[in-house]
Chains A and B, each alone.
Chain A
């Protein structure tokens, strides 16, 4: 079975600083990987997804993630944090031919002015 591990349940960054949220996956077959975001009092929405086309994936709001097979990682980055980025971020995994999507435990991002 596939799984994801998110390192750090809480991350704080200053406004304008680099955002780095970590996700490592475990899968016996090539995975599909996702980052979802949950803003306060809103539902989860997709930030970006990796489906084996390109290892560097760009998403909404300036976020991007790089698939690194050798490190089994799919970390989420943004060069410059904005106050509006404060939210909870979830990494998720699925595999070809199987619709089940497994989520990580989430990382809550705090942006300090």
Chain B
């Protein structure tokens, strides 16, 4: 697609529920990232994929958070047993990948999660 698409744009859920957030990256981008942005903070790294595999998941805060990218394109961030502290904007970004590390990230508009 033309840009990075994230759905839903807004999600309100109750404490303890399960949530899935979806990211559709730019076609052909091999690297995909998830970040979390709380109010007044910068994007906090969660995980990135190179192709289908999670190359670095060191930012996932605990085992309630999990992400998949089974076919190397669309990714889903899954949050189990949501807590009020999980409320934030979840950002997805993609890039062309490659070895240099200097790739530019293209961000989606984000999914705003509110846990009541």
A99 touches B55 (CB 8 A): yes
Q: Name the residue among B102, B105, B107 with the largest chain A CB count within 10 angstroms.
A: B102
CA A102 – CA B42 in complex, angstroms? 9
* Shortest distance between the CB of A38 and any CB in chain B (Å): 9
A97 touches B45 (CB 8 A): no
Q: How many residues of A contact B (CB 8 A)?
A: 26
Answer yes or no: A95 CB below 8 A from chain B CBs: yes
Answer yes or no: B108 CB below 8 A from chain A CBs: yes
Answer yes or no: B25 CB below 8 A from chain A CBs: no
Instruction: Rank and list the top 6 A-B pairs by shortest CB-CB distance, nearest first.
Output: A103-B42, A43-B107, A32-B102, A44-B107, A51-B102, A105-B42
Contact residues, A45-66 vs B (CB, 8 A): 45-46, 49, 51
Known contacts: A99-B48, A105-B42. The answer to whether A46 contacts B105 by CB under 8 A is: yes
Q: Name the residue among A9, A44, A49, A95 with the largest chain B CB count within 10 angstroms.
A: A44
B4, B105, B108, B110: the one within 8 Å of A101 (CB): B105
CA A36 – CA B103 in complex, angstroms? 13
A94 touches B102 (CB 8 A): yes
B44, B91, B93, B109: the one within 8 Å of A42 (CB): B109
With a cutoff of 8 Å between Cβ atoms, the chain B residues found around residue A97 in the complex are 99-101
A32 touches B42 (CB 8 A): no
B91 touches A44 (CB 8 A): yes
* Shortest distance between the CB of B95 and any CB in chain A (Å): 7
With a cutoff of 8 Å between Cβ atoms, the chain A residues found around residue B42 in the complex are 6, 90, 103-106
What are 21 A-B interface contacts by the 8 Å CB criterion? A36-B105, A43-B4, A43-B91, A43-B109, A43-B110, A45-B107, A46-B104, A49-B102, A51-B102, A94-B102, A96-B100, A96-B101, A97-B101, A99-B48, A99-B95, A99-B101, A99-B103, A100-B56, A101-B105, A103-B44, A106-B42
A105 touches B100 (CB 8 A): no
B104 touches A95 (CB 8 A): no
CA A97 – CA B99 in complex, angstroms? 5
With a cutoff of 8 Å between Cβ atoms, the chain A residues found around residue B110 in the complex are 43
